[in-house]
Structure 1
Amino acid sequence: MTAQSLPTSSAPTSGFANGPRLLADIGGTNARFALETAPGKIELIEVLACADYPTLAAALLAYLASPAVTAAGVFGVRLGAIAIANPVTGDLVRMTNHHWEFSIEALRLACGFDTLVVVNDFTALARSLPLLSQAQKRQVGGGAAVADSAIGLIGAGTGLGVSGLVPSRSGWTALLSEGGHVSFSPMNETEVAILRFAWREFDHVSAERLMSGIGIELIYRALADHADMPAENLSAPEIARGALVGECTLCDEVIEAFCCMLGTVAGNIAVTLGAQGGIYIGGGIVPRLGQRFDRSGFRARFEQKGRFAKYLAQVPTFVITADYPAFVGVSAILSEKLSLA
């Protein structure tokens, strides 16, 4: 668990009439919590391991009762907004990459909120994109964003998230997409071999099966099999580390294949949405690859669309470098809901 505390132990002065707002970003591995004590002032960030708690309610209440929050004098939070790595299509939410499931209304009552908003995490992340500063993103390759144009979003972590923003007269509309589950499309003989290997385990091989943490492990086993080499029992972080420090040639080939495949999917999103405002890359994996990602074949593959290569060469791609951008997005969504109430 990590935490960021307020500068003093005195109770924060809230810039909101109804007190601080609970913000959460729930993934398949970690649950991130924070309090927004004034517009844009996000504090008391803590990261809890999902596996340590039987339910989301238990994790949320543990955060609200944590030493950092209680020492700040924060009690009785009435408003909450949660971004979660899962489709949100009704009151009942069952996580795809974790065992938690809950009723939004029951969670609201259990935690004592007057208002609780629950949205897909990539919907929240997409909503944050226009609010990111230049220091919170890094451009990879060429191209320039066209103002008031659609924006695409992709991010690999525990799963593969996809979303986007469509401009309108009243602002931005975030797409409720599950594009990570489109069928994987190989682009060369090596990727065909990877797909054939994956078919031994799965009837349907989605993009997420390969562009995710467990996907990196699957690519590693597939490439080892393709090269008729023994595969060690390596986790995704170990594979990435082996590639980054130059200790494992096979690991580097895995990371290169991962980056190129991600370029294919990102290019698909760009032409599907007409995302001349750019494609943004979030999630937990790519930002940790740093310059290795920039040197990879990602951008070349992104533009490899035959007759549309020149079109894609003009679309910029950005790696999101902000620490907790989903908080910014889910906060904006909560504020919009409250303004309509």
Structure 2
Amino acid sequence: MLTKNPKIPDSAGPRLLADIGGTNARFALETTNHRFEAITVLPCNAYPDLQAAITAYLAREEVKALCQQAVQHAAIAIANPVEGDVISMTNHHWAFSIEALRQACGFQNLVVVNDFTALAMALPHLAEHEKLQVGGGQAQAQRAIGLIGPGTGLGVSGIIPSGSHWIPLCSEGGHVSFSPADDTEIEILRYARKEYAHVSAERLISGMGLEIMYRALSHMDQISNPEDMNAADITRLALDGSCPVCVRTVEYFCAMLGTIAGNLAMTLGATGGVYIGGGIVPRLGEFFNTSAFRQRFEAKGRFATYLAQVPTFLITAEYPAFLGVSAILTERLSVVADSAAHLIDA
């Protein structure tokens, strides 16, 4: 899909944007270009389906005050593969037909895309204060850009330039085979293989990966009965330094992420930079900045000099997916308008 970002016609009225995860549904109205208002986070479990959540959002007083007419255009980013018309969420019970949802909500146009496709399309629109460079390097203009984001899983994507447009990549790069970089990581891999025949990057560089690594490192330290901790506990105790095993777990997490991000940069030739999203890394703060992430990103032998020139950025924008779905919706409406114009001319 190609994307450009002309101004939103004032006559179109506010556009509904949404970012749907397994836990929360985030909504906003885009009233003018990249101006997101009435931002609201609704718990998915509070609604029987997505239509009910959309209806509840549109019924809010602050939303109705911004809408002088019914919303005509909407775009949804969802943490799920988007293939065809029917969406069945893998991490929540919601399932729906895109076309049926469009009709039920009365939208003229409804676009539904994968959340990492939306996040990738947000990258060219991030302001300087919405990203933080980690390490050195200088982005080259009009070159491929990589995206990686550990959270519940490990999202991977990127964008390729095509003239004044960007083409997003639909990738399952999080499921590539994990490759250890030292003896400790070899032992972590051996431990994980007791549970999984195929240990992907996502198995270790994700929330569940933090938990697996914590158990593996506890086993290696011969801790007979390690505490049963989830990813949030491990991260919290690592940041306050109160648990040495948790500290080592998060240190290895950051280093492993550096290796995979470097692989992505090499695979895409992403001299436009590699961006880090997802729910975990932004919470690490200075721990991540001083970690081995950047060192491991560049640790590619003969290509270390090449990677030293590729910048890495942490996405700090609070709702970056809105930027991406806005760009995608704008392109879709542009295509629709061009098609209508051709029909009139014919």
Tell me the TM-score normalized by structure 2. 0.90
Q: Deviations over 1:250-293 (max 9, x none)?
A: 11111111111111110110000000000000111111111110
Q: 1:86 is matched with which residue?
A: 80
Q: 2:343 is matched with which residue?
A: none
User: Would the aligned equivalents of 2:14 and 2:66 in 1 still touch at CA under 8 Å?
Assistant: no
The alpha-carbon distance between structure 1 residues 327 and 202, as it changes in their structure 2 partners (threshold 3 A), is same
For the aligned residues, what is the CA RMSD?
A: 1.7
Q: 2:242 is matched with which residue?
A: 247
Q: 1:124 is matched with which residue?
A: 118
Q: 2:306 is matched with which residue?
A: 311
Q: Which runs of 4+ in 1 moved over 6 A?
A: none
Report how far residue 240 of structure 1 moved.
0.8
User: Would the aligned equivalents of 2:14 and 2:67 in 1 still touch at CA under 8 Å?
Assistant: no
The question of 1:43 aligning with 2:25 is answered no
Report how far residue 201 of structure 1 moved.
2.2
CA distance in 1, matches of 2:244, 2:215: 14
Gaps of 5+ in 2: 1-7, 337-346
CA distance in 2, matches of 1:143, 1:175: 23
Report how far residue 97 of structure 1 moved.
2.8
Q: 1:296 is matched with which residue?
A: 291
Q: Report which structure shows greater RCO (CA 8 Å, sep ≥6).
A: 2
User: Would the aligned equivalents of 2:151 and 2:207 in 1 still touch at CA under 8 Å?
Assistant: yes
Letter in 2 for 1:265: I
CA distance in 1, matches of 2:294, 2:99: 43
Q: 1:3 is matched with which residue?
A: none
User: Would the aligned equivalents of 2:237 and 2:246 in 1 still touch at CA under 8 Å?
Assistant: yes
Tell me the TM-score normalized by structure 1. 0.91
CA distance in 2, matches of 1:201, 1:58: 39
Q: 2:4 is matched with which residue?
A: none
CA distance in 2, matches of 1:117, 1:24: 10
Report how far residue 322 of structure 1 moved.
0.8
CA distance in 2, matches of 1:282, 1:48: 21
In percent, how many aligned pairs have the same letter?
64
SS in 1 for 2:233: helix
User: Would the aligned equivalents of 1:97 and 1:159 in 2 still touch at CA under 8 Å?
Assistant: no
Report how far residue 24 of structure 1 moved.
0.7
User: Would the aligned equivalents of 1:81 and 1:118 in 2 still touch at CA under 8 Å?
Assistant: yes
**Which one of the candidate residues 81, 104, 107 is aligned to 1:113?**
107
State which drifts further: 309-318 or 20-29.
Answer: 20-29
State which drifts further: 58-67 or 171-180.
Answer: 58-67
SS in 2 for 1:186: coil
Q: 1:142 is matched with which residue?
A: 136
User: Would the aligned equivalents of 1:124 and 1:326 in 2 still touch at CA under 8 Å?
Assistant: yes
How many residue pairs end up in the alignment? Answer: 328
Q: Deviations over 1:94-126 (max 9, x none)?
A: 223333322211221222211110111111111
Letter in 1 for 2:227: E
CA distance in 1, matches of 2:166, 2:31: 24
CA distance in 2, matches of 1:218, 1:31: 28
Gaps of 5+ in 1: 1-13
CA distance in 2, matches of 1:73, 1:309: 53
Q: 2:344 is matched with which residue?
A: none
CA distance in 2, matches of 1:71, 1:164: 37
Q: 2:180 is matched with which residue?
A: 186
Letter in 2 for 1:41: R
Letter in 1 for 2:279: G
**Which one of the candidate residues 122, 141, 157 is aligned to 2:151?**
157
Report how far residue 65 of structure 1 moved.
2.1
CA distance in 2, matches of 1:68, 1:234: 40
Q: 1:168 is matched with which residue?
A: 162
SS in 2 for 1:17: helix
